[in-house]
Amino acid sequence: MGKKELKVAFLLALRSLQRGNRSSVLLIILIIALVFTNMIYMPALLSGIGQSITRQVVDYEVSNVLVSPKSGEQYISDLDATLDLINGMPGVERASPHYSKGATLKFRQRILGVSVRAINPQDEKYVSPLYTKMVAGSYLGEDDTGEVIIGSPSAGSSSIREEDEFQPSLGGVRVGDSITIEYGNGYAKDYRVKGIFTTGWTPVDSAVYITWTDMEQVVGKKLDEAEYITVKSRPGYSESFIKNELLQYGVTEKVQTTKDLLSKSLGRALQSFAIINTVTLIVSLIIAVVVLFIVIMIKILNNRRQIGILKAIGVDKEVIMHSYGIQVIILAVLGIGLGIIMTQILVVYMSYNPIVTPEWSASLYVTPFDLAFNSVILFIAALAAGYIPAWRVSREDIQKAMRA
Amino acid sequence: MGSVDVKALDGVTLDIAKGEFLGIMGPSGSGKTTLLHMLGLLDTPTSGKITIDGTDVGKLTDYERTMFRLYKLGYVFQDYALVPELTVMENVSLPAMLREDRTEEQYRTASHDILQKIGLCDRRDHLPGELSGGQQQRVSLARAMVNKPDILFADEPCANLDTENSRMVLDLFREINEQMRQTIVMVSHEDWHKDYFHRIIRLRDGKIVSDGINGKTSH
């Protein structure tokens, strides 16, 4: 098709959209936009859930690299030397040791079984944003003794009756209250609640944090061992680089990156998400193709006589076909553009109003690649849906078309 | 019940001379439009041959027929058949825009000139829906004439017009025929239209029943 034919096809397409039935044009654009939003929404939500879980696991459980005891051992021994070794390596921001014990909390008439986690508050600040999640009181200080910070679900609320609680709590502990912690080894001590936090990550929100010094009192000795060490990398250093470095420089414990851990724990969930995403994509595309095919077919059938007339006066069938094709291209571009705007509005809305569950809170996670990929797929589908009826009708006999 | 073969045209033979204003007349169902469509390459005869300007049009491919219609033929239809979304100027320019031998300036000038000739230049930016039936048919005539076709075909161009508008349109056809020596083949069933034709072919049941020079015209 030559330049002149293309120009005429473009003129016919443009004028049909400009001066034809405006509500029909707007409806088609809206349909394409909604199909695009539908294609993006579910996969983006599932990606958001995956991202949320990943972020929380990184923030509150493993940071970038997790060092845990070698097989057959319960604790990482020679902790001070191990920490010095890890902290001295290039690319390591900070290593933070963790040690936990099962315990029972007592406050007034309430009893609650929890995990008490010991941390070095300053080290933990480098690897976890826990210190930023205080909703009352303040975070632990390095030299604090006899003080705890507690997750708000465990602290509970005095306004909710025990039988109405979603999960067991201490029934409304407030900053400054004194709670008793009885450990499995028989050690018991009263602690002052220094702060209450909410992270949205259930295992952390159900726990109580004390300082390393306090835990040494619990175990009755200097604590030169840890259950695990979380390692934060400096910007620009990859997790695998840190892992290889640790192994090379003589860390004999088990070393795993976040990716290693997530591929095991979240691998199957992410696979399931991928299946749901594929099904959503296929269903959305089928809807788009069918709707656009019907809409364009109706439009073309209504214009059969005009198509016949155009052919009669010497307009080639290719020009007629492309005039409808160009209409679909314009509609698809506008629809996809509107779809991108709608998706971005949803992304912004859900970043302020995430879906919150006890396990995770998720907003939409959309990458430029997602937008580009879905745009191209929908564009191709729209093109096929528009061109097929145009191709069929443009080849119809002039007499038949003119009698329509 | 078996199907019954009906011959829309049966043994029709005729020659049309350059510059002739030919009227095809006859009762409804006599084959007038079928003959016009075959001469105008909009339909194909089951047998027989049509030669226009030395070209056996039956041997042309689909694309060649389209190009033949574009370069050599012009059409005016009963219901004007303008593209409703295009302005008067765009409708008239449309066939000229597709011609390889016309520049943009040339087809704009040609469209402007023909619109001026039919007296609708001041309405060039209007849409067909904003014009009367007579005006739309004049635009349709301008579109047919913009490429200066060898033959202008008109299929009952006044069927949807009142007498006054019909006369205006027919006067325009006559003017074009006389001034530009334009060959015109027009189908009509209105008896008073014969005053405009040089020659009249009358059909009945697909056969030519009379073919003669119109005595009332002065050619």
CA distance B120 to B142: 10
The whole-number pLDDT of residue B37 equals 93
In total, the C-beta contacts within 8 angstroms joining chain A to chain B are: 73
Crossing angle of helices B133-145 and B163-180, in 10° steps, is 20
Are A314 and B77 within 8 A, CB to CB? no
Are B98 and A315 within 8 A, CB to CB? yes
Q: Residue B75 — left, alpha, or beta (φ > 0 → left; ψ -120 to 50 → alpha)?
A: beta
Whether the predicted pLDDT of B216 surpasses 50: no
How far away is chain B from the Cα of A15, in angstroms, using its nearest Cα? 6
Are B97 and A399 within 8 A, CB to CB? no
Residue of A nearest to B44 (CA): A399
Crossing angle of helices A22-57 and A368-394, in 10° steps, is 150
The chain A residues in contact with chain B (CB within 8 A) are 2, 4-5, 7-8, 11-12, 15-16, 18-20, 305-306, 309-317, 319, 398-399, 402
Higher pLDDT, A157 or B31: B31
Number of domains, chain B: 1
How far away is chain B from the Cα of A314, in angstroms, using its nearest Cα? 4
- Residues above pLDDT 90, as percent of chain A: 45
CA distance A339 to A32: 7
CA distance B180 to B163: 25
Are A314 and B71 within 8 A, CB to CB? yes
Are A7 and B97 within 8 A, CB to CB? yes
Are A18 and B67 within 8 A, CB to CB? no
How far away is chain B from the Cα of A22, in angstroms, using its nearest Cα? 12
How far away is chain A from the Cα of B73, in angstroms, using its nearest Cα? 8
Whether the predicted pLDDT of A265 surpasses 80: no
What confidence tens digit (pLDDT) does each residue in A65-117 have?
999 998 888 899 889 999 999 999 889 999 999 999 999 999 988 888 889 99
Is B137 inside any structural domain? yes
Whether the predicted pLDDT of A227 surpasses 50: yes
Report CA-CA distances (Å) from A349 to A224, A355, B35.
Answer: 48, 11, 67
pLDDT band for position B218 (50/70/90)? very low
The whole-number pLDDT of residue B3 equals 67
Structure tokens at A89: 């390596």
Is B3 inside any structural domain? no
The whole-number pLDDT of residue B217 equals 39
The whole-number pLDDT of residue B117 equals 86
Mean pLDDT for A266-290 is 82
Q: Which residues pair with A240 in a beta bridge?
A: none
Cβ-based contacts of B101 with chain A (< 8 Å): none
Whether the predicted pLDDT of B15 surpasses 90: yes
- What radius of gyration do chain B's Cα atoms show? 17
CA distance A84 to A166: 43
The whole-number pLDDT of residue A360 equals 73
The whole-number pLDDT of residue B214 equals 66
3-class DSSP state of A82: helix
Are B97 and A310 within 8 A, CB to CB? no
How far away is chain B from the Cα of A297, in angstroms, using its nearest Cα? 19
Q: In what order do the strands lie in the sheet with B183-187?
A: B73-76, B151-155, B183-187, B21-25, B199-204, B207-213
Structure tokens at A313: 């006066």
How far away is chain B from the Cα of A24, in angstroms, using its nearest Cα? 15
CA distance A170 to A187: 20
The chain B residues in contact with chain A (CB within 8 A) are 37, 40, 42-43, 63, 66-67, 69-71, 73-75, 77, 81, 83-86, 90, 94-95, 97-100, 127, 143-144, 147
How far away is chain B from the Cα of A19, in angstroms, using its nearest Cα? 5
> What is the residue extent of each domain of chain A?
3-57+267-403, 70-252
Mean pLDDT for A341-346 is 95
CA distance B114 to B144: 10
Whether the predicted pLDDT of A398 surpasses 90: no
Predicted-complex ipTM score: 0.87
The whole-number pLDDT of residue B2 equals 58
The whole-number pLDDT of residue A389 equals 87
Q: Which domain holds residue B82?
A: 21-213
Is B34 inside any structural domain? yes
CB atoms within 10 A of CB A271: 9
Residue of A nearest to B129 (CA): A19
The whole-number pLDDT of residue B136 equals 93
Whether the predicted pLDDT of A1 surpasses 90: no
Are B83 and A8 within 8 A, CB to CB? no
pLDDT band for position A162 (50/70/90)? confident
**This prediction's pTM:** 0.76
Are B95 and A315 within 8 A, CB to CB? yes
What confidence tens digit (pLDDT) does each residue in A294-343 have?
888 888 888 888 888 899 999 999 999 999 999 999 999 999 999 999 99
Are B100 and A4 within 8 A, CB to CB? yes
**Residues belonging to chain A:** 404
- Averaged pLDDT score across all residues of chain B: 89
Is B112 inside any structural domain? yes
CB atoms within 10 A of CB A88: 10
Higher pLDDT, A172 or B76: B76
Residue of B nearest to A307 (CA): B83
Are B69 and A314 within 8 A, CB to CB? yes
Residue A226 one-letter amino acid: A
Mean pLDDT for A338-353 is 94
CATH code for position B51:
3.40.50.300
The whole-number pLDDT of residue A200 equals 82
Cβ-based contacts of B98 with chain A (< 8 Å): 4-5, 8, 314-316, 319
- Residues above pLDDT 70, as percent of chain A: 99
What confidence tens digit (pLDDT) does each residue in B155-187 have?
999 888 888 888 988 998 999 999 889 999 999
CA distance B66 to A318: 11
**Residues belonging to chain B:** 219
